[in-house]
Structure 1
Amino acid sequence: MAAEDLPSEFDVVILGTGLAESVVAAACSRVGQRVLHLDRRSYYAANWASFTFNGLLTWIQQHQEESPPEEVQDWSGQLEEGDELIYLSNSDPASIRNLQVFCYASEEDEEEEADSPGPPDTTEEEEEEAVKETSETESADSKDEERTHQAVHIEGEEPEADQPRPSAAPSQSQPTRKKISYAQLVKEGRRFNIDLVSKVMYSRGSLVDLLIKSNVSRYAEFKNVTRILTYRHGNVEQVPCSRADVFASRQLSVVEKRKLMRFLTSCVEETEEHQAYSGRPYVEFLRDQQLGDNLQHFLLHSIAMVTEDTPTEQGLASTRHFLRCLGRYGNTPFLFPVYGLGEIPQCFCRMSAVFGGIYCLRHSLLCLLLDTPSNSCKAVIDSRGQRISCSHVVLEDGYVPANRKRVALPPRFVSRAILITDSSVLPSESEQQVSVVTVPPIAAGCPAVRMVELSPSTMTCIPGTHLVHLTCQSVGSAYEDLSPVVTRMFHTPESPDRGSRPSVLWCLYFNMADGWGAEPDGHDLPSNVFLCSGPDAALGHDHAIRQAESIFQKILPEEDFCPPAPNPEDIIYDGDNGSSSTAGGLEEREEEREEEREEECEEEKEVLEDASPPAEE
């Protein structure tokens, strides 16, 4: 929408299109609030965004360039008696730092015919197109042309088996080159969807619950994370998670299988024995259960996903959460959105727009107008100088000027690496694998690393490649923290030997501010101005969803948070009076799904009983 067309009054003005801000926008619009949602960037989702390869190159270039100093304009002419101006920052250079890029792919296609492209001499033009591609209009349209508009049945175990996806990469139908060049990465750059953050969705986590409750899940498609892997003794191994996986595992002996099943069953409810270990390390509790090194490694690093000094109560809580999420959609607890995590904020933005929210990219706020007697913001001034009255303001924390921030602790950072590789860390017959890999500290003082490996079936990379995300808490720069893991698990020029490891074609290292360490409360800001922090280092999305719900309840304490939006097919039009309703549609579907799940559980129980090992003599 053009800036000159903006109305002069809104209920809620939101600056920043990250996940928390987008959820707040959708929740407020859904209950009838007039919402204006702005972002200074040319793309949605802020630090939660997904980029094409060419778009990521442009993003890198923008963060490597020094921003010119801001020119502070005088808006005192907009003040009335008793008003005060609070100028906002329009840049946040501190959230991304230490960018390092390495390209190991050849410049030209070595196995192409004469029509193969040469070096990427048109990269600048393609990068400009990539920025346009992620703009307000093309961001949704370019992907919606490829995907079906039906939502994947988020409640089903294998949604891709029920609904054909003509745009998805076929398993074996397309020939793959032995070597993929940088020119090909650039040429096919639009087929990549590369996330700035690396997370997955717990099947019973707060984000999935919200997607189902609000009916926003119909705007996206999802795939099961098919494997939980771990790196141990120089090898990548599959972790048995579900009961069926445990019984089918060849890594565990029969005795280990029984011990693991017995332990997992005992973890479901808290006992006096668990309480006795409160405050003591979880690894100590596991040792006392006489589980053996194999099971201790799997439980600590891949199921609880904690460190050796994590307290027992926290380790058990993480284990229970993992177990609760198993079986809802498959043999792992996780889902991943097709086309990348950047889809999720955009889904909530679409819901807000459906219910009247107004969106402007490349548009920002310059300052807040504070009513001093009430200590509340009564209006904002946007980047075009328009004064907009409002009742509440929600800000991405990067817009808050330094002199109004409360810094309780030194800022924390997350180390990130993004790799494009030529194969999987654990090859299999299926090219549909989506894997979560846990890498314990490889040496004293090194951080534990979490890896998410995406296949072309997720529509995040081209056939013949895999997209790998590595994440850890920052100890040093991202390169210092993560390159030792990359060198060991993948083939790079720094690797001592090639072996059978995947080769890295291209990689990016950078540090990102950890949103968990931000202090959204207590800043020197008006009482009706609320802050949203950026992504945190956790695997799930709970922090952002809790933050969004908390802000919504402060704005509208009497309203329901994200009530379900009607499905178009559920709307019944009455020819007599023109009214519409959604009576019972969602409830009936939920009951049907529950019945289907009960039948599946009964069938699985019969199979598992047949597969159970004999009783221990």
Structure 2
Amino acid sequence: MTDLPPYPPLDPTTFDLIIVGTGVPSSILAAAASSSGSSSVLHLDPNPFYGSHFASLSLPDLTSFLNSNSLSPPPHPSNTHDFLLSVDLVNRSLYSVEISTFEPDILGQHSRTFSVDLCGPRAVFCADESINLMLKSGSNNYVELKSVDASFVGDSSGELRNVPDSRGAIFKDKGLTLLEKNQLMKFFKLVQTHLASSLTEHDETAVKVSEEDMESPFVEFLSKMRLPPKIKLYNSPSELLFLYQMSLQMIRLLILVCRIILYGIALLDHDQDNKETCGHVLKTKEGIDRLALYITSIGRFSNALGALMYPIYGQGELPQAFCRRAAVKGCIYVLRMPVTSLLLDKASVRLASGQEIFSQKLVLDQCVTVGLESLSPLTDQQKETIRVLVPNEISSKEKIARGICIIRGSVRADISNALVVYPPKSLFPEQLTAVRVLQLGNGLAVCPSDMHVLYFSTVCDNDDQGKAALLSAMSTLIREQVPENLQTDSIVENDTAVTKPVVLWRALYVQELVKGEFGGDISSTSSPDGNLNYNEIVESTVKLYEQLMGSGELFKEETSQENTAEEDDGDDVIED
């Protein structure tokens, strides 16, 4: 930043809302506040790119960002004045990072052609709230999404079982037995009938899941729905043997079907069979809602074959789309501009340029906190004003372990873009949470044509636990480079792992989970969570907006003519 020319002073110097950080939550807030027509918004970012911790970066930029955010930098020099009470702001360390490069020459030639996500693996359901907000705000005109080709449930043996996304897909799936197809189709029919009946509340003949079942654990409801029908009493040994064999088959079926539904479709993190270690036991009502999201996503858009989509050029396109929409509505953007301190006596902030900007409402990025040495002279009331910026040691200790692998080849020769889920205990007995893997290829403009990018993630309590799960999933899907002096014809010929794609570059990093919080004059946004989609982030952002701006509508419906007049040239790629 010292090499850049100084910024000219901002004019005006007073805004209704100042937002620091251009991640997904911040960008939605900026677009919504700007679209309201009643608020002037200044949107700042200390980085030279949009997206903050939701950005998509080249390999050199990704490495630099991870390393710089794994160490807490010293606080900015405090420019205090006798008549002002200044509180210094510093960046909180969010990551612990390990990066390995196996073929530096090859990667060096293509390093700038990669667009790698910081918050992966992540995709969007065609019917989820982030898509609805994009359609409502007009941000969809600035981003193009493509369908994720397939989803699988994997295990330690390397087998990948297809996750069928509809009753038709179940019928065509050659990997499922007839009994498995019948049970899955029966369950899909039940969910679809229940959802349809919810729209006809006065129809007493409609099939619905009972209120008692809706409040029960989802895993118990699944077990109940997969029980075999009542069988008459068997007397002969042959009939008893048949019953025993059928019971074993039903148990195997129950385990497989439950794994597909719980972790491949509902996309749960924790082991639902172990209530002692499960971080969140899902109720049937929430489970049905998750299945409804999956089912209603299928076929919503003509350019998405399945339930999931991914933005071309990476997840960083989503916050940029909302930022561009905000700019159209009058929001002012300044990159490479950190906020160095709060001036509590004047309801203002001091920028790195030295200029003071005034606003009664301030929303900061999740990594921004206060220098502890600044707290001592404050009164209790002043400390309460900035409480959302003070690290809370008692808050949730849950973390997210993430991994990125650049590979030569594909985990499935016939598929480029795919989601793979490893349910709890599927990789090793001590695995407490699911591991999700998203493979993306050149068709999404994120890597060269002969390579793929793999994203891994799992929620965890500590670094060692998370990394162990990620490394186990990596060893199941890919293989590391073998030095040439160790390769022999016999090794290559007999090694079954030779068919696995080869890893060229790998990063492992454990991220702290920071919840956003409303604090009146000063609020903060959430860090990337461990979910595949953005629904929880959107939900918390909508709540924060309502607290900041009142209970008004997040985005006013806008006519297609208005959108067409204001947007850049280009084809709409998401149409409701």
TM-score, normalised relative to structure 1:
0.72
In structure 2, what is the Cα distance between the partners aligned to 1:68 and 1:556? 33
In structure 2, what is the Cα distance between the partners aligned to 1:558 and 1:187? 52
C-alpha distance after superposition, 1:425-460 (max 9, x if no partner)? 1211x6xx3211111231222231001110110111
Q: Residue type of the partner of 2:510?
A: N
Q: Which runs of 5+ in 2 are unaligned?
A: 1-5, 196-207, 228-249, 274-280, 376-386, 483-490, 567-571
Aligned position for 1:434 = 417
In structure 2, what is the Cα distance between the partners aligned to 1:558 and 1:482? 42
Residue 366 of structure 1 deviates from its aligned partner by 2.4
8 Å contact kept, 2:151–2:162: yes
Question: Is 1:448 aligned to residue 434 of structure 2?
Answer: yes
Q: Residue type of the partner of 2:89?
A: S
Aligned position for 2:14 = 9
Residue 67 of structure 1 deviates from its aligned partner by 5.3
Question: Is 1:225 aligned to residue 148 of structure 2?
Answer: yes
Say which is worse superposed, 314-323 or 380-389, in terms of deviation.
314-323
In structure 2, what is the Cα distance between the partners aligned to 1:556 and 1:277? 35
Residue 247 of structure 1 deviates from its aligned partner by 1.5
Q: Residue type of the partner of 1:557?
A: G
Question: Is 1:336 aligned to residue 310 of structure 2?
Answer: yes
Residue 311 of structure 1 deviates from its aligned partner by 3.3
Aligned counterpart in structure 2 of residue 209 of structure 1, from 114, 120, 132: 132
C-alpha distance after superposition, 1:106-159 (max 9, x if no partner)? xxxxxxxxxxxxxxxxxxxxxxxxxxxxxxxxxxxxxxxxxxxxxxxxxxxxxx
Aligned position for 2:339 = 365
Say which is worse superposed, 386-395 or 270-279, in terms of deviation.
270-279
Aligned counterpart in structure 2 of residue 56 of structure 1, from 48, 59, 62: 62
Aligned position for 1:422 = 408
In structure 2, what is the Cα distance between the partners aligned to 1:287 and 1:506? 45
Q: Residue type of the partner of 1:490?
A: I
**Number of positions where the alignment pairs a residue of Structure 1 with one of Structure 2:** 480
Aligned counterpart in structure 2 of residue 379 of structure 1, from 344, 348, 354: 348
Aligned position for 2:365 = 396
Aligned position for 2:102 = 104
Matches within 5 A, 1:42-191: 42-63=48-69, 66=71, 68-77=73-82, 79=84, 84-85=85-86, 87-93=87-93, 95-97=94-96, 99-105=97-103, 182-191=104-113
In structure 2, what is the Cα distance between the partners aligned to 1:189 and 1:340? 15
Q: Residue type of the partner of 1:91?
A: N
Aligned counterpart in structure 1 of residue 272 of structure 2, from 292, 296, 308: 308
Q: Residue type of the partner of 2:141?
A: R
Residue 593 of structure 1 deviates from its aligned partner by 6.7
In structure 1, what is the Cα distance between the partners aligned to 2:141 and 2:17? 25
In structure 2, what is the Cα distance between the partners aligned to 1:566 and 1:54? 42
8 Å contact kept, 1:475–1:481: no
Aligned position for 2:291 = 319
Note closer, same or farther for the CA distance 1:337–1:74 as it changes in structure 2 (3 Å cut): same
8 Å contact kept, 2:58–2:116: yes
Q: Residue type of the partner of 2:553?
A: D
Note closer, same or farther for the CA distance 1:60–1:557 as it changes in structure 2 (3 Å cut): closer
In structure 2, what is the Cα distance between the partners aligned to 1:31 and 1:298? 43
Residue 513 of structure 1 deviates from its aligned partner by 1.6
Name the SS of the counterpart of 2:448 in structure 1.
coil
**Among the aligned pairs, what percent are the same residue?**
23
Residue 315 of structure 1 deviates from its aligned partner by 3.1
Question: Is 1:25 aligned to residue 52 of structure 2?
Answer: no
In structure 2, what is the Cα distance between the partners aligned to 1:297 and 1:13? 45
Name the SS of the counterpart of 1:340 in structure 2.
coil
Residue 369 of structure 1 deviates from its aligned partner by 3.0
Note closer, same or farther for the CA distance 1:479–1:258 as it changes in structure 2 (3 Å cut): closer
C-alpha distance after superposition, 1:402-422 (max 9, x if no partner)? 663345424321000000111
Note closer, same or farther for the CA distance 1:234–1:184 as it changes in structure 2 (3 Å cut): closer
Note closer, same or farther for the CA distance 1:435–1:511 as it changes in structure 2 (3 Å cut): same
Name the SS of the counterpart of 1:69 in structure 2.
coil
Q: Residue type of the partner of 1:14?
A: I
Aligned counterpart in structure 1 of residue 182 of structure 2, from 240, 258, 275: 258
In structure 1, what is the Cα distance between the partners aligned to 2:92 and 2:357? 24
8 Å contact kept, 2:478–2:501: yes
CA RMSD of aligned residues (A): 2.9
Name the SS of the counterpart of 1:345 in structure 2.
helix
Say which is worse superposed, 9-18 or 407-416, in terms of deviation.
407-416
8 Å contact kept, 1:227–1:332: yes
C-alpha distance after superposition, 1:149-177 (max 9, x if no partner)? xxxxxxxxxxxxxxxxxxxxxxxxxxxxx
Name the SS of the counterpart of 2:367 in structure 1.
helix
Aligned position for 1:174 = none
Say which is worse superposed, 5-14 or 315-324, in terms of deviation.
315-324
Question: Is 1:468 aligned to residue 493 of structure 2?
Answer: no
Note closer, same or farther for the CA distance 1:331–1:499 as it changes in structure 2 (3 Å cut): same
Residue 49 of structure 1 deviates from its aligned partner by 0.9
Aligned position for 1:504 = 503
In structure 2, what is the Cα distance between the partners aligned to 1:27 and 1:277? 35
Aligned position for 2:44 = 38
C-alpha distance after superposition, 1:460-508 (max 9, x if no partner)? 1111111000000124325333112111221125998524211111110
8 Å contact kept, 1:16–1:46: yes
Aligned counterpart in structure 1 of residue 536 of structure 2, from 534, 540, 543: 543
Q: Residue type of the partner of 2:398?
A: R
In structure 1, what is the Cα distance between the partners aligned to 2:348 and 2:76? 21
C-alpha distance after superposition, 1:57-100 (max 9, x if no partner)? 33244346x55522441423453xxxx44x1422222x111x11
Q: Residue type of the partner of 2:23?
A: G
C-alpha distance after superposition, 1:489-544 (max 9, x if no partner)? 211259985242111111100011224xx2514xxx5x222211111111110122
In structure 1, what is the Cα distance between the partners aligned to 2:73 and 2:575? 56
Note closer, same or farther for the CA distance 1:11–1:541 as it changes in structure 2 (3 Å cut): same
Q: Which runs of 5+ in 1 are unaligned?
A: 106-181, 372-376, 573-579, 581-588, 595-617
Aligned position for 1:296 = 258
In structure 2, what is the Cα distance between the partners aligned to 1:332 and 1:296? 20
